[in-house]
């Protein structure tokens, strides 16, 4: 015989806290509280297995369920000394849904179940309060009709309003017992009108109706959507809790409230909560009456004039404090509790681990470890790495007023205010004059990099979470709202329009990259705080971490930010970004337009000093930490002039005609640049480009070593290699250049040459490539594109459909496709190590900052992960958790 029903109450229970899978979170914790001797109204839980059975058997119940429910109900009757459906002393119950994880979208709780025309008399006698009895009855009819029978609430609210109008009342509390009685009668008419049959009088029929509604709600659209968004499997099922009612609304010695064992917004170890005297259930959160603070301290902090529970009911307050201590010590985590006081007696109705802000999560974890309640390792496991993002960027002052214009995608977190500009060039000009600017564009392209860099924030009206603007902004830690399609950007008229609002160049707006909100005017921001509990917890995390964490950074600013966030090196310095500066792009364009090596070398010579200076700055900031520098990677046409003005300018500098420039540009156009003449293919065709870059790197390294006495550690990375021969050719260029520079300087520094593994062939042939490559960095952005044959720039239009249909569990560009791309990475690791056991292995690209991908990196034994500077703390914490989970 299967046990479908688990009872609890009177200091005992058949269930336990660790039976969440079977009893749901609410049921398991009610059982646990009862076992702990805490006052819990008696009740029983119908298991999640019944839910599964229900759906596997055409929405019916197992034969023996009815008997088990009746037996459990009898037990509750005995414990509460009341009888279900009894005219003198009726037991009333609540019916509550409860999945493993708390789940919005499930059926709302039905209170006061068991009331009918007979039992309401009993309730009246028991309470000595006719008004209360009929008020409870009408609440029940409305709730049950709404939640179980699906009759919309306005049908009932309309009647109540009419009655109040007739009598000249303004508040519900003015209705008399007789008034409520009349309302009940009219409510019942509504039910007949709406569903063609009367409201169920039989309490058992009511009970089974409510149970069926809970199970039915598991498959309603809201619940299905919520499960999909939160990766909750449909076969988990929900449990149903049936529990004796206690009344917080039976007079002034009654109350109801919610409380947290610590402050959920700051994490401070103070008791925190709200309550209402003479109120029922959700009245506290419903906002009909202003709730009062539980503690005197809370009352003072909130400048409330209403008395605290600590003052009004001191003895019960002490009872509640005792419960708080018991539960927090028992669960060893901050608890979120619901309670009701009836006739001077405290009853607990729910406890669970409380939701909290990131700041609170850090403080609670650190303080609980300090109190000895949990270990430091547990503290490290308690904080969600992704949630740290909230703390790492300036954020809008929550107290400040905001005028929201519209909303786009929250593409890169952080808040920023500034003056609107419409081109990268203007952004740079204005920034040079000390203006804070927000770059507004339909979409961005690589040429906008300079402007993006100086902008406080970026707004685009097209493009998704993986659009150019989004990816680059995240990399730079610049707040970005992408794809805000309600706006119209007119670059020529220099306006940003939305509905009837027209903003002009120079007008101030504020972006919140964490929510996607775009606001008019300036909203004050607050700076992130990287000290205190944050620093303590990160310190504990670092002690456990076995993988290094590096950052992807090009500029000294990014590199300093990365170091501030604890990066242990640079895992990816993309050199092409360095060429978009206006003074350099001209030389770059001359180089591309040259028809022979001599012409190219001449242009490259003029780029060398700039490039060398970049590396000097970068090496200086990194102070001896490893810096992986990727040689030129993108197709050359990305650097070419587009506008007539640009074409004329290049033609003049290069001493050729505009026609020549246009022709050459045409020639460089590729139909599929991602798979075209780029990466090491450029170096193979034009070794002098890589030679110049290598020279810049080594001259810089030698100079910094000499000046600072600390030798930089350059790791030169050849991109887009798929064969050993490509790598060997390029390594030879780098080695020869190094040798020449070191001889000229009379000083040598240590360096490495390695490759990016970003093509499937490279992963497969990693064994051969490792014969000459000293390190691999898995470029999982391109490896994902090339493995899935999926262009990152074009996938936006259908990726969501793919996720909705369950083809991809997550965006493969955000979280590594462990089964597919991951297998190639693993093959690369194994084959690379087989050839060269001490090969250095890392990952760069968006995945290096994604906790799930980091877990995978730990599993396959990478030496480091690299991510954007602002994700470094997230990666540090995720790496520590991965190490702890793997038992490293």
Query: How many Cβ atoms from other residues are within 10 Å of residue 275's Cβ?
Result: 26
The reply to whether 693 sits near ligand ADP by the rule CB under 6 A is no
Residue 648 DSSP class: H
- Pick one of 335, 340, 525, 853: the residue that binds ligand ADP (CB under 6 A): 340
**Which one from 51, 480, 573, 844 is the annotated catalytic residue?**
844
| Sign of the four-CA dihedral 683, 813, 511, 529 | negative
Query: Are the CB atoms for 779 and 842 separated by under 8 Å?
Result: no
The reply to whether 41 sits near ligand ADP by the rule CB under 6 A is yes
Q: 3-class DSSP state for residue 95?
A: strand
The reply to whether 683 sits near Mg ion by the rule CB under 5 A is no
Query: Could you tell me the smallest distance in angstroms from the CB atom of residue 458 to ligand ADP?
Result: 40
Query: Could you tell me the smallest distance in angstroms from the CB atom of residue 26 to Mg ion?
Result: 7
Query: Could you tell me the smallest distance in angstroms from the CB atom of residue 826 to Mg ion?
Result: 19
Nearest to 573 by CA among 541, 614, 542, 536: 614
**96 interface partner picked from ligand ADP, Mg ion, none, CB below 5 to 8 A per type:** ligand ADP
In DSSP terms, 563 is beta-bridged to none
**779 interface partner picked from Mg ion, ligand ADP, none, CB below 5 to 8 A per type:** Mg ion
Q: How many residues bind Mg ion (CB under 5 A)?
A: 4
The reply to whether 350 sits near Mg ion by the rule CB under 5 A is yes
Query: How many Cβ atoms from other residues are within 10 Å of residue 449's Cβ?
Result: 20
**421 interface partner picked from ligand ADP, Mg ion, none, CB below 5 to 8 A per type:** none
Candidate ranges 76-84, 450-458, 617-625, 754-762; the one touching Mg ion (CB under 5 A):
754-762
Residue 494 DSSP class: T
- Pick one of 96, 363, 544, 731: the residue that binds ligand ADP (CB under 6 A): 96
In DSSP terms, 337 is beta-bridged to 259, 351
Burial class (CB in 10 A: 0-12, 13-18, 19+), 214: buried
Comparing every residue's Cβ against Mg ion, the nearest one is 782
The reply to whether 135 sits near ligand ADP by the rule CB under 6 A is no
CA distance 304 to 300: 6
- Pick one of 49, 125, 194, 282: the residue that binds ligand ADP (CB under 6 A): 282
Residue 116 assigned to a binding site: no
Q: Residues 6 or more apart from 383 whose CB is under 8 A from it?
A: 358, 361, 362, 365, 537, 877
- Enumerate residues 766-825 that contact Mg ion by CB under 5 A: 779, 782
Return the number of the residue (136 or 350) whose C-beta is nearest Mg ion.
Answer: 350
Quick note: the x/- pattern for ligand ADP over 816-855, rule CB under 6 A, is ----------------------------------------
Candidate ranges 244-252, 264-272, 326-334, 492-500; the one touching ligand ADP (CB under 6 A):
244-252
Query: Could you tell me the smallest distance in angstroms from the CB atom of residue 67 to ligand ADP?
Result: 23
- Pick one of 113, 349, 380, 783: the residue that binds ligand ADP (CB under 6 A): 349
Query: Could you tell me the smallest distance in angstroms from the CB atom of residue 198 to Mg ion?
Result: 31
Nearest to 84 by CA among 242, 199, 248, 215: 242
Query: Could you tell me the smallest distance in angstroms from the CB atom of residue 96 to ligand ADP?
Result: 3
CA distance 206 to 311: 40
Q: How many residues bind ligand ADP (CB under 6 A)?
A: 15
Active site residue 844: yes
- Pick one of 34, 109, 206, 787: the residue that binds ligand ADP (CB under 6 A): 109
Helix residue spans in 547-686 (DSSP H): 556-564, 582-593, 597-622, 644-654, 658-668, 680-685
Half-sphere exposure of 386 (CA within 13 A, CB side): 9
**Which one from 393, 453, 468, 637 is the annotated catalytic residue?**
468
Query: Are the CB atoms for 308 and 316 separated by under 8 Å?
Result: no
In DSSP terms, 43 is beta-bridged to 8, 243
Residue 574 assigned to a binding site: yes
Residue 832 assigned to a binding site: no
User: What are the DSSP calls for 507-568, one per residue?
Assistant: -EEEEETTTTEEEES---EE----SHHHHHHHHHHHHH--SEEEEE--SHHHHHHHHHTT--
Residue 193 assigned to a binding site: no
Nearest to 570 by CA among 639, 617, 513, 535: 617
Return the number of the residue (30 or 473) whose C-beta is nearest ligand ADP.
Answer: 30
Rg (CA), the chain: 33
Q: What is the contact surface with ligand ADP in residues (CB under 6 A)?
A: 41, 94, 96, 109, 111, 243-246, 281-282, 338, 340, 349-350
Catalytic residues: 468, 844
Binding-site positions for substrate read: 574, 630, 758, 779-782
Binding-site positions for Mg(2+) read: 758, 782
Q: What is the contact surface with Mg ion in residues (CB under 5 A)?
A: 350, 758, 779, 782
């Amino acid at each position: 015989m299967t046990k479908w029903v688990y009872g609890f109450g009177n200091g005992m229970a058949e269930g336990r806290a660790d039976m969440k899978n079977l009893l749901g979170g609410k049921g398991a914790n009610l059982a646990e509280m009862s076992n702990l001797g805490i006052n819990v109204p008696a009740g029983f839980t119908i298991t999640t297995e019944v839910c599964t059975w229900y759906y596997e058997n055409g929405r019916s119940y197992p034969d023996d369920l009815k008997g088990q429910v009746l037996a459990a109900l009898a037990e509750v009757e005995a414990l509460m000394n009341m009888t279900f459906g009894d005219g003198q002393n009726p037991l009333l119950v609540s019916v509550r849904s409860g999945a493993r994880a708390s789940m919005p979208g499930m059926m709302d709780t039905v209170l006061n179940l068991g009331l009918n025309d007979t039992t309401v008399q009993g309730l009246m006698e028991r309470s000595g309060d006719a008004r209360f009895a009929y008020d409870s009855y009408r609440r029940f009819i409305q709730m049950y009709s709404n939640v179980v029978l699906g009759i919309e609430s306005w049908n009932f609210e309309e009647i109540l309003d009419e009655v109040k109008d007739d009598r000249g009342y303004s508040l519900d509390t003015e209705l008399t017992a007789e008034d409520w009685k009349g309302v009940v009668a009219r409510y019942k008419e509504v039910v007949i009108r709406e569903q063609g049959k009367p409201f169920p009088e039989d309490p058992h029929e009511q009970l089974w109706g409510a149970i069926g509604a809970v199970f039915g709600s598991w498959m309603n659209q809201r619940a299905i959507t919520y499960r999909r968004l939160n990766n909750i499997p449909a076969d988990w099922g929900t449990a149903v809790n049936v529990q004796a009612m206690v009344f917080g609304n039976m007079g002034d010695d009654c109350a109801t409230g919610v409380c947290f064992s610590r402050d959920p917004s700051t994490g401070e170890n103070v008791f925190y909560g709200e309550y209402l005297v003479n109120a029922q259930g959700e009245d506290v959160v419903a906002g009909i009456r202003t709730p009062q603070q539980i503690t005197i301290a809370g009352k003072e902090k909130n400048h409330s004039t209403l008395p605290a529970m600590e003052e009004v009911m001191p003895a019960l307050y002490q009872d509640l404090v005792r419960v708080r201590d018991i539960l927090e010590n028992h669960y060893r985590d901050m608890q979120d509790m619901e309670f009701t006081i009836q006739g001077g007696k405290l009853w607990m109705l729910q406890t669970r681990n409380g939701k909290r802000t990131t700041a609170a999560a850090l403080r609670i974890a650190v303080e609980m470890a300090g109190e000895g309640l949990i270990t430091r390792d547990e503290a490290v496991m308690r904080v969600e790495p992704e949630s740290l993002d909230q703390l790492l960027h300036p954020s809008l002052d929550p107290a400040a007023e905001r005028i929201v214009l519209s909303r786009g995608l929250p593409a890169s977190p952080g808040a920023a205010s500034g003056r609107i500009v419409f081109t990268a060039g203007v952004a740079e000009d204005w920034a040079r004059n000390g203006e804070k600017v927000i770059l507004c564009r339909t979409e961005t392209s690589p040429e906008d990099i300079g402007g993006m860099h100086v902008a406080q924030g970026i707004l685009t009206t097209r493009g998704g979470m993986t659009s150019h603007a989004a990816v680059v902004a995240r990399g730079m830690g610049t707040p970005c709202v992408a794809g805000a399609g309600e706006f119209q950007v007119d670059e020529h008229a220099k306006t940003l329009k939305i509905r009837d609002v027209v903003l002009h160049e120079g007008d101030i707006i504020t972006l919140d990259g964490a929510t996607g909100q775009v606001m008019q005017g300036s909203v004050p921001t607050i700076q992130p705080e990287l000290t205190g509990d944050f620093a303590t917890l990160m310190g504990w995390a670092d002690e456990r971490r076995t993988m290094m964490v590096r950052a992807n950074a090009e500029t000294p600013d990014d590199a300093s930010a990365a170091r501030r966030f604890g990066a242990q090196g640079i895992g990816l310095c993309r050199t092409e970004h360095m060429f978009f500066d206006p003074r350099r792009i001209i030389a770059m364009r001359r180089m591309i337009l040259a028809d022979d090596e001599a012409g190219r070398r001449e242009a490259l010579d003029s780029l060398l000093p700039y490039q060398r200076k970049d590396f000097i700055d970068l090496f200086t900031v990194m102070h001896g930490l490893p810096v992986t520098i990727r040689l030129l990677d993108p197709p050359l046409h990305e650097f070419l002039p587009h506008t007539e003005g640009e074409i004329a300018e290049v033609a003049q500098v290069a001493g050729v005609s505009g026609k020549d420039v246009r022709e050459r540009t045409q020639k460089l156009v590729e139909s599929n640049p991602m798979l075209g003449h780029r990466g090491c293919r450029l170096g193979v065709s034009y070794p002098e480009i890589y030679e110049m870059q290598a020279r810049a790197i080594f001259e810089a390294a030698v100079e910094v070593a000499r000046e600072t006495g600390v030798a930089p550690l350059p790791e030169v990375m050849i991109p887009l290699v798929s064969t050993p021969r490509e790598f060997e050719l390029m390594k030879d260029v780098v080695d020869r250049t190094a040798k020449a520079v070191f001889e000229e300087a009379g000083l040598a520094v240590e360096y490495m040459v390695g490759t990016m593994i970003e093509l499937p062939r490279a992963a497969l042939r990693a064994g051969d490539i490792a014969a000459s490559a000293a390190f691999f960095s898995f470029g999982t952005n391109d490896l994902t594109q090339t493995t899935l044959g999926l262009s990152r720039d074009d996938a936006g239009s259908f990726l969501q459909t793919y996720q909705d249909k369950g083809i991809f569990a997550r965006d493969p560009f955000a979280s590594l496709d462990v089964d597919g791309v991951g297998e190639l990475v693993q093959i690369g690791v194994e084959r690379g190590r087989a050839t060269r056991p001490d090969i250095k292995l890392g990952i760069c690209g968006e995945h290096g900052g994604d906790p799930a991908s980091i877990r995978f990196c730990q599993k396959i034994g990478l030496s480091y992960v690299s991510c954007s500077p602002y994700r470094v703390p997230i990666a540090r914490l995720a790496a520590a958790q991965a190490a702890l989970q793997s038992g490293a």
